[in-house]
Structure 1
Amino acid sequence: MTELSSALQQFLSQQTGASIIIEAVKPIAGGASRETHVIVGSQDGAPFQMVLRRDLASEMIDNALTRPQEFALLQAAYAAGVKVPKPRYVSADPNILERPFLLMDYVEGISIGPKVVRAPELEAARAVLPAQLGEQIARVHQMNPDDPSLSFLERPSPNRNPAQHALDNLRAMIDRLGVQNPAVAFAVRWCEQNAPDPLPLTIIHGDFRIGNVLVGPEGLRAIIDWEFSHIGDPREDLAWPCVRDWRFGKVDRHFGGIDDREAFLSAYEQHRNVTIDRKAVDYWEILGNLRWGVTCLAQAERHLSGKDISIEFASLGRRAVEMQAEYLRLIQAWKD
């Protein structure tokens, strides 16, 4: 038994008061923000599978949720009927697994973006995913943003446009990384000057896209990876899955590489009984490409700093140039 397996077995035994046997701890591929494993074991002889999410040595974004905060949000989302894995246990005690972690039920499904957009066995799922995702993100946005148990979620200051708040955070990241790039500077300025009037604030998933959902042949099974959640303009979540990188090579299919965005937006409008200005979603897509481009530089810095040595993190640095080309193209199209 590995040291991790032994520590988990002891922790779960203490939490449940039952006889726990950990049979396997299997790493899950991907996950640039957290270390993720499938835990296979039994409780008093009854088999179970859970997912472990544990912090890495460094953060992609400084204001990401802690594991206890993410756990509390998962509890609220689960209670609101959002399709999320049921959260089970959480700890920030460094004496248990060295770094903060949470455990939740294992949900069978495919999350790897290229497989979701290409796998033949998911062809039927791709036909229904846009509407399913529109309905689910509508549920998220109907959750109470003033829930006292979620007071830790970052929100814009009063009378501050959520887009301007997002740009404040982006500028802080640019300054921390020492980025000096005319395309980045131009896009930040353009976003400052063209921010749409805000909608009423909602809870935002913050990374809602293909790649952060679990998919089966019938469609959506669960929404995962909530560590970037905050309070903001709901159109941020509507535009993010349309960002070019989240199409996984299927660039002609605007929404996540599986469809145009109309089925998704129409389902959202229907379930929230609202009308969404497509031009405002276009703005948030431009800002989304800009933010992801800078985040790619932050990911590369995690590798270059030596805190989290990773070929994946290093390779993401080159994607920043691709994002620059995309948001400059979109800004030109906006003007035209």
Structure 2
Amino acid sequence: MSNPLDQFTPLLDAEWMAATLQRYLPECLAGDWQVTGCEIQHPRYKTYRLAENRERSFLSLVYHLQGRKLPSSIADQRILYARAYLGQRSHQAFAEAQASGKKAIHLAELGMVGWRFPDDPAMPWLAELMDSRRIPELGQQTVSSIEIVNYRPEIRCTARYRFAAENTEPERVVYGKTYADERGKTVHDQLSILQKQFQSNLGFVMPKALAYDLEHRTVWLEGLQGQMLTELDFATTLAENIPALVNALAVFHQLTPPSLPAITLPQHLLEWCKKAEKLSNAYPAIQPVLSVLLSELQQNRPEVDMLGLIHGDFHIDQLLVLPNGRLALFDYDELALGDPLQDLANFAADLYNYPYPVATIDQLVRQLFTAYSAAKQGQADPQRFAWHLRGQLLTRAYRTFIQQKSAAEQRIADFIALALRPWPLAG
């Protein structure tokens, strides 16, 4: 069959989708609402390695729509989660959604099944979380606003609840993070265990775990005030914060972990092989360099004497600079036992996503490793770090593919080229 991406590509054009959804959304056809703008978040392309299964490929994504209510012309924002299928498969998917009682809409002309937020096929309680009067964990203080921070359909949703100052109560922010499964209970319990351990001023500040709501599968976290590290002058601010960052990371890695799943190096290698195979199927031209990269990763796989606590998703977007200069660390969903250098390599690989010269990022990566090695009294193995860094760059190439970012094929080739460079990086 032809490349499925040919059919899905128009659905990733925000301007085209704004005009197209105006023509097909039921509320627009009824004259109740008008689309004025569109932003696309979290596209994920699900593909299959076997050729006979390629027709099952689908694209899921979130459309953040700007619009206005009619006839009042009051500005209004809405979120639409959609899944796009090949051929006529959307008809079957819509029938299945209807049969299960899920509040779906069918945009047959686009091959799409959609859900209007807060309707979510895996989190039917989301609507209740958008009504603060129905959330006893928030107490008696009046909620002044509820803002969606991050919505990953059928996985999780993070909302920010703002409280205006009242009488003796100061202004306050609380985050509610709800999950499609029971992961929130695990996150709450693990974070509570880590917070009870002694932390020096060198360690990360962690958001306080307030409660876990079993009915809504939501962990409640106290908000922290500060600036995201990415909102500041990137290269300069990160360079200035590298000593504090690596010292805090070294302290974090020394904490006594709760009961956690282990992530071994052979497991990493297996996942990277699967990602490389899917990339090769989608872009045959890069298959030779992918083979070279996989061969090097297999031949140079290091050994780890002891696994320790790792964050599992450590990158610059997870860091907040507090008014006192300390760094706060968020998002503890991926805590695991693993090689601590995985966290450092994950952070380093993510820096190459930013629009700075490669030489600038190379310098920051060298500084990160040198400082972390010093914080660990020289116990950080540079070749093991390089192995993780190469694998993490392959992971960034794969994410570019499944998220179908602009100029995807060239960006994927660039990530693979970065992964094939020798370590230490040339100065």
TM-score between both structures, scaled by the size of structure 2:
0.57
User: Secondary structure in 1 aligned to 2:420?
Assistant: helix
Where does structure 1 lack aligned partners over 5 or more consecutive residues? 58-64, 157-161, 301-313
Is structure 2 residue 246 aligned with structure 1 residue 139? no
Moved more, 211-220 or 80-89: 211-220
In the TM superposition, residue 217 of structure 1 has moved relative to its aligned partner by 6.5
In the TM superposition, residue 323 of structure 1 has moved relative to its aligned partner by 3.8
Please, which of 78, 89, 103 is the counterpart of residue 195 of structure 2? 78
- Number of equivalences: 287
Distance 1:4 1:179, change over 3 A: farther
The root-mean-square deviation of aligned C-alpha atoms, in Å, is: 3.7
Contact 2:308 2:339 in 1 (8 A): yes
In the TM superposition, residue 4 of structure 1 has moved relative to its aligned partner by 4.6
Please, which of 152, 155, 167 is the counterpart of residue 262 of structure 2? 155
Is structure 2 residue 240 aligned with structure 1 residue 128? yes
Residues 9-20 of structure 1 aligned to structure 2 (within 5 Å):
9-11=133-135, 13=136, 15=137, 18-20=139-141
Is structure 2 residue 327 aligned with structure 1 residue 228? no
Please, which of 398, 405, 410 is the counterpart of residue 315 of structure 1? 405
Residues 1-336 of structure 1 aligned to structure 2 (within 5 Å):
3-4=127-128, 7-11=131-135, 13=136, 15=137, 18-28=139-149, 34-41=156-163, 46-47=169-170, 48-55=172-179, 66-80=183-197, 81=199, 82-93=204-215, 96=216, 100-111=217-228, 113=230, 115-118=231-234, 125-145=237-257, 147=258, 151=259, 153-156=260-263, 162-171=264-273, 179=281, 182=287, 183-216=289-322, 219-243=325-349, 245-246=351-352, 248-250=354-356, 251-254=358-361, 260-298=364-402, 300=403, 314-315=404-405, 319=408, 321-333=410-422
What residue identity is the alignment partner of 1:327? I
Distance 1:132 1:170, change over 3 A: same
Structure (1 or 2) with the greater strand fraction: 2
CA distance in 2, matches of 1:241, 1:154: 21
In the TM superposition, residue 138 of structure 1 has moved relative to its aligned partner by 0.8
CA distance in 2, matches of 1:69, 1:248: 32
CA distance in 2, matches of 1:191, 1:78: 36
Which residue of structure 2 lines up, in the alignment, with residue 60 of structure 1? none
In the TM superposition, residue 42 of structure 1 has moved relative to its aligned partner by 6.8
Contact 1:289 1:323 in 2 (8 A): no
User: Secondary structure in 1 aligned to 2:220?
Assistant: strand
Distance 1:319 1:67, change over 3 A: farther
User: Secondary structure in 1 aligned to 2:210?
Assistant: strand
In the TM superposition, residue 202 of structure 1 has moved relative to its aligned partner by 0.9
Moved more, 24-33 or 104-113: 24-33
Which residue of structure 1 lines up, in the alignment, with residue 96 of structure 2? none
In the TM superposition, residue 223 of structure 1 has moved relative to its aligned partner by 0.8
What residue identity is the alignment partner of 1:10? R
In the TM superposition, residue 69 of structure 1 has moved relative to its aligned partner by 2.0
TM-score between both structures, scaled by the size of structure 1:
0.70
In the TM superposition, residue 118 of structure 1 has moved relative to its aligned partner by 3.8
User: Secondary structure in 1 aligned to 2:159?
Assistant: strand
Structure (1 or 2) with the greater helix fraction: 1
CA distance in 2, matches of 1:236, 1:185: 22
Contact 2:315 2:350 in 1 (8 A): no
Distance 1:154 1:297, change over 3 A: farther
User: Secondary structure in 1 aligned to 2:158?
Assistant: strand
Q: Which deviations, in whole Å up to 9, do the C-alpha atoms of 1:227-252 show, x marking residues without a partner? A: 22221111111211211555511233
Larger radius of gyration: 2
Where does structure 2 lack aligned partners over 5 or more consecutive residues? 1-117, 119-126
User: Secondary structure in 2 aligned to 1:191?
Assistant: helix
Q: Which deviations, in whole Å up to 9, do the C-alpha atoms of 1:195-252 show, x marking residues without a partner? A: 1222421111112121111125764431112222221111111211211555511233
User: Secondary structure in 2 aligned to 1:243?
Assistant: helix
CA distance in 1, matches of 2:336, 2:223: 25
In the TM superposition, residue 116 of structure 1 has moved relative to its aligned partner by 3.4
Distance 1:68 1:188, change over 3 A: farther
What residue identity is the alignment partner of 1:28? V
Contact 2:391 2:419 in 1 (8 A): no
CA distance in 2, matches of 1:118, 1:102: 31
User: Secondary structure in 1 aligned to 2:175?
Assistant: strand
Contact 1:109 1:221 in 2 (8 A): no
Which has the bigger relative contact order, CA under 8 A and spacing at least 6? 1
